Structure 1
Amino acid sequence: MNIQSSINKEVFIPHDERMLVAVEVQRRKRKRKRMSFLPPGARRDCTTFICVSVCQPEVTTKPRQLLITKIKQFVGSSSFTRRSQWNVEQLRQVNGIHPQKDSPEFDLVFDNTVDQWVARSSAEKCLFVHILYHACQTYCKGKAGSLMKAGGLDHVGRKGSQCAQLVQEDPAESTPDSTAINVKSKRKSSAPPRQPEFINCQSKLTTDSRTVTLLIYRCKVYLDRIKDRRVFNQTSPGGGQRGQRVTWSSVAEAVQRMKVSLVGRGDRLTPAEDKTVELMHKAQQLADAAHKLALKFSK
């Protein structure tokens, strides 16, 4: 089991969440003038991960949430600790730093803080930004659509009752100021979520070619990890023993298996997408018919 599966199983699944992507990061070094009486910086005693997850509550009435979580794993411990968590609506900006080339640096700007990170590799950072961008797109579109449907139903079904209630109320109690406050609060609650701004990001990370881009960056991440493992085995004691070396043929075979599995997964997803579109069309027809019946019997 790799480290991402371990994080998902230990941290997110018990809280009815599903992790979409995780990236290993460390703080970007800032140039500071070190005091002569202070000792030099010690080696970091923990590993930090930034994860994107979707909250999937068992109760269907609760809304789904897109969350960004900071997780740490301390040296000598196999468990993961959740340190900070933000809703995607608190995310204001994602800064890719270098719009023309792959780089491991990126910034996350929230309402109350700014985090400057360096990923383990450029491929991991690009994969994280790519998945986060499309997750934000899907989340904002879905929430805006649900708000529009809820607003339409309230407008059709409750218009008559609201008018009758306003007529029966005491004029002295319903002042213009209170009416204006109620209108503003309703508009604010029904406003669609603001989508985070992605700046200085490569155009290939914010395009619709998700399958190809994901395949490329997942292969790069896998190759980087194999390379790091090979370097570690060569530099560690006993690294030259038999069975510890990773040959390029095994890497090529693994990449080929991953490519075949991803292509098969895409072939299975295509009929599911067509079926989803068909069901959405039928649901829209049913909604239109129900609306016509409601108007007919209201007269």
Structure 2
Amino acid sequence: MNIQSAINREVFAPRDERMLVAVEVKRRKRKRIPFLPTGGKGEYVTYICLSVTNKRPAQLLITKVKRFQGSTPFTSRSQWTVEQLRQVNGINPNQDCPEFDLVFDNALDQWVASSAPEKCIFIQIMYHACQTYWDGKEGHHGGLVRPVGDQQKGQMVQEGQGSPRSPTGRPGVQARRKSTVVLKPRKPEFVNCHSKLTGDASSVNLIVNRCKVFFNRMKKAMVLKRSRPHTVAGPSGQCPQGGSVGSVVHKASQALHERGERLGRAEEKTVDLMQKAQQFADTAHKLSLKYSH
């Protein structure tokens, strides 16, 4: 089971959500809080995940998931709705780079993905998910209704759009009612993103980026395998578990010592059997001489 399937099973499936994509990230600028005590939970890996609820109407969510070193389960740390997302900044529109920013109503996160193709996959899927989500929202609701503030009311009156007044000069009944105006929902901006991530050919580029991610993982696995120290096989044909040269030599010498002890015991038994055989032969010769006369 890969990482994304594990995150979806442990974090999102119990909440009746379905994860669309996840990307492993690190902060470009670490947050330093000097008044907090040191010695926290240790190192951890962070994932930014995009998920959608299974219930209707569906809701699009961005979740920060962490897994601490030495701990198998994943932990959900922060979550935002897509309505709180204001901007997705791809940093460089002309070159694939692993850096990107997510701007929310109350937060700004500056991230570095584990690779440029993984970042491209994340932005591609997020862009099309946002487009589908907002198209469906506008089709069902036709906009968001928000109360008009006092400043907006004053502007409407100056422009001649205010409510009619009564003959006494006081605002009429309609003026005392709470005025409302229909506003279109504000979609998140995708800035400094390459056109291949948001264009018509993005599905083809998505396949290309997935292939790049696959080959990058294979390359890392091969490099990691080559960097591991080679071990010397023991007498039984199995490689010892120790990784250092000293442990390998110690185990080999110990195996040779045990083998020498077994050979010594076998030699002693052989000498003992030879002596018993010689005694049996002498006794048999004497008996043959006695009964031959």
Normalization by structure 1: what TM-score?
0.62
Alignment partner, residue 225 of structure 1: 217
Per-residue Cα deviation, 1:82-132 (whole angstroms, up to 9, x for no partner): 000000110101111111000000000000010000000000001101111
How many percent of aligned residue pairs carry the same amino acid? Answer: 56
Give the letter aligned to residue 4 of structure 1.
Q
Secondary structure of the residue that 1:139 maps to in structure 2? helix
Residue in structure 2 matched with residue 49 of structure 1 by the alignment: 47
2:228 maps to 1:236: yes
| RMSD (CA atoms) | 3.1
How many corresponding residue pairs? Answer: 204
Distance (whole Å) between structure 1 residues aligned to residue 96 and residue 226 of structure 2: 27
Q: Please, which of 191, 199, 202 is the counterpart of residue 210 of structure 1?
A: 202
* Counterpart selection for 2:103 from 87, 105, 109: 109
For residues 111 and 64 of structure 2, the distance between their equivalents in structure 1, rounded to whole angstroms, comes to 12
**1:140–1:192 CA contact under 8 A, matched in 2:** no
- 1:145 aligned onto 2:142: no
Larger proportion of helix: 1
Contact kept in structure 2, 1:95 and 1:201, CA below 8 Å: yes
Aligned counterparts of 2:95 and 2:24: Cα–Cα separation in 1 = 20
Given the superposition, is the C-alpha separation of residues 178 and 235 from structure 1 closer, same or farther in structure 2, using an over 3 Å criterion? farther
The amino acid that maps onto 1:52 is L
Kindly indicate whether residue 52 of structure 2 is the aligned counterpart of residue 67 of structure 1. no
Residues 15-94 of structure 1 correspond to what in structure 2 (within 5 A)?
A: 15-29=15-29, 45-57=43-55, 60=56, 63-94=57-88
Q: Residues 96 and 149 from structure 1, CA distance in 2 versus in 1: closer, same or farther, beyond 3 angstroms?
A: closer
C-alpha deviation, 1:18, in angstroms: 0.8
Unpaired segments of 5 or more residues in structure 2?
146-171, 234-293
Amino acid at match of 2:13: I
Q: What is the alpha-carbon distance in structure 2 between the residues aligned to residue 128 and residue 219 of structure 1?
A: 14
Q: Is the 8 A contact 1:67 1:87 kept in 2?
A: yes
Secondary structure at 2:93 match in 1:
coil
User: Which structure is larger by alpha-carbon Rg, 1 or 2?
Assistant: 2
**2:177 aligned with 1:183:** no
1:295 matched residue in structure 2: none
Q: Which amino acid in 2 is paired with 1:101? A: Q
Equivalent position of 2:4 in the other structure: 4
Q: Report the alpha carbon displacement of residue 150 of structure 1 after superposing the two structures with TM.
A: 11
CA distance in 2, matches of 1:99, 1:234: 36
- How far apart are residue 208 of structure 1 and its match? 2.0
Equivalent pair of 1:205/1:213 in contact (CA under 8 Å): yes
CA contact (8 A) 1:124 1:217 kept: yes
**Contact 2:7–2:74 (Cα < 8 Å) also in 1:** yes
Secondary structure at 1:201 match in 2: coil
Which residue identity is paired with 1:199? V
Alignment match, 1:132: 126
Aligned partner of residue 212 in structure 1, secondary structure? helix
Aligned to 1:68, what secondary structure does the other structure show? strand
Q: Kindly state the Cα deviation for residue 48 of structure 1 after the two structures are TM-superposed.
A: 0.1
Shift of 1:176: 3.0
Letter aligned with residue 63 of structure 2: T
- The answer as to whether partners of 2:196 and 2:202 remain within 8 angstroms in 1 is no
Letter in 2 for 1:132: M
Q: Partners of 1:16 and 1:201 in 2: how far apart? A: 31
Aligned to 1:254: none
Q: In structure 1, the residue corresponding to 2:19 is in which secondary structure?
A: strand
Match of 1:194, SS? coil
1:6/1:150 CA distance change after superposition, 3 Å: same
Instruction: State the secondary structure of the residue aligned to 2:123.
Output: helix
1:117, 1:150 → 2: CA distance? 32
**Alignment partners' CA distance in 2, 1:240 and 1:121:** 36
What 5-or-longer segments of structure 1 have no aligned partner?
Answer: 36-40, 152-173, 242-299
- CA offset at residue 192 of structure 1? 3.5
The equivalent position to 2:117 in structure 1, one of 123, 147, 157, is 123
- Residues 150 and 120 (structure 1 numbering): CA distance in 2 closer, same or farther, change over 3 Å? closer
In 2, Cα distance between equivalents of 1:83 and 1:222: 28
Task: Letter of the 2:49 partner, please give it.
Answer: C
